[in-house]
């Protein structure tokens, strides 16, 4: 990969996974958050009464799915405020150069892409679940599985929405430290980072 070309999502994901394995060991490859969200989604789906999945409860079911869809769309919209702040900061010329030379730019780009992917997955599965209600061929087990997937992706998207805010706070903190340096120190810091990464 050329240093001037934008790395693909897969390259960034593999790089992030390697960093996690170096820092935390092989446990880092186990997606504990995803597993927890799948278990929670399954548990919530199992707690819904049988009548919820009956054709006579279509109005209630559609209201629940519409509410979940609205929640996921709202979470996505609110997260874009954090994304906007991240983009605003990483686009500042000297800070952008510093992040690129230190290798942190790709990490921030990966996180933004991953946050967005989880939220689109949550909204997409919820929309699929809503449309699923209209299919007369569905049965209770299939309905419960769809509802479990909807809740699991919603929980996972929410988990990463909170992560987006944390990343934005981290970036603001680091930018505050960087921006407070005199220009000579910024250039020296950039040079030091550049020398360690070549």
* Cα three-residue angle 182-96-166, rounded to 5 degrees: 95
In this prediction, residue 198 carries a pLDDT of 34
The one-digit pLDDT tens for each residue of the chain (198 residues) are 445 677 787 887 888 788 778 888 888 788 899 999 999 999 999 999 988 888 788 889 889 999 999 999 998 888 887 788 788 888 888 888 888 877 778 888 888 888 889 999 999 999 999 998 887 776 888 889 999 999 999 999 999 888 877 888 888 887 877 777 777 766 666 545 444 433
Tokens of 34: 């995803």
* Cα three-residue angle 86-23-168, rounded to 5 degrees: 15
Say how far apart CA 160 and CA 78 lie, in whole Å.
Answer: 12
């Amino acid at each position: 990969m050329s240093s001037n070309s934008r790395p693909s999502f897969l390259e960034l994901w593999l790089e992030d996974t390697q960093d996690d394995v170096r820092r935390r060991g092989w446990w880092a490859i186990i997606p504990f958050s995803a597993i927890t969200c799948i278990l929670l989604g399954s548990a919530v789906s199992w707690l819904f009464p049988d009548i919820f999945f009956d054709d006579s409860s279509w109005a209630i079911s559609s209201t629940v799915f519409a509410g979940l869809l609205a929640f996921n769309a709202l979470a996505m919209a609110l997260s874009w405020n954090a994304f906007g702040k991240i983009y605003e900061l990483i686009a500042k010329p000297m800070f952008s150069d510093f992040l690129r030379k230190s290798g942190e730019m790709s990490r921030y780009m990966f996180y933004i892409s991953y946050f967005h992917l989880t939220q689109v997955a949550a909204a997409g599965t919820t929309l699929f679940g809503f449309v699923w209600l209209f299919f007369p061929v569905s049965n209770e087990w299939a309905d419960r599985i769809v509802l479990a997937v909807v809740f699991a992706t919603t929980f996972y998207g929410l988990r990463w929405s909170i992560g987006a805010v944390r990343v934005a706070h981290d970036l603001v903190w680091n930018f505050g430290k960087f921006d407070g340096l005199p220009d000579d120190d910024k250039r020296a810091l950039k040079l030091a980072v550049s020398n360690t990464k070549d």
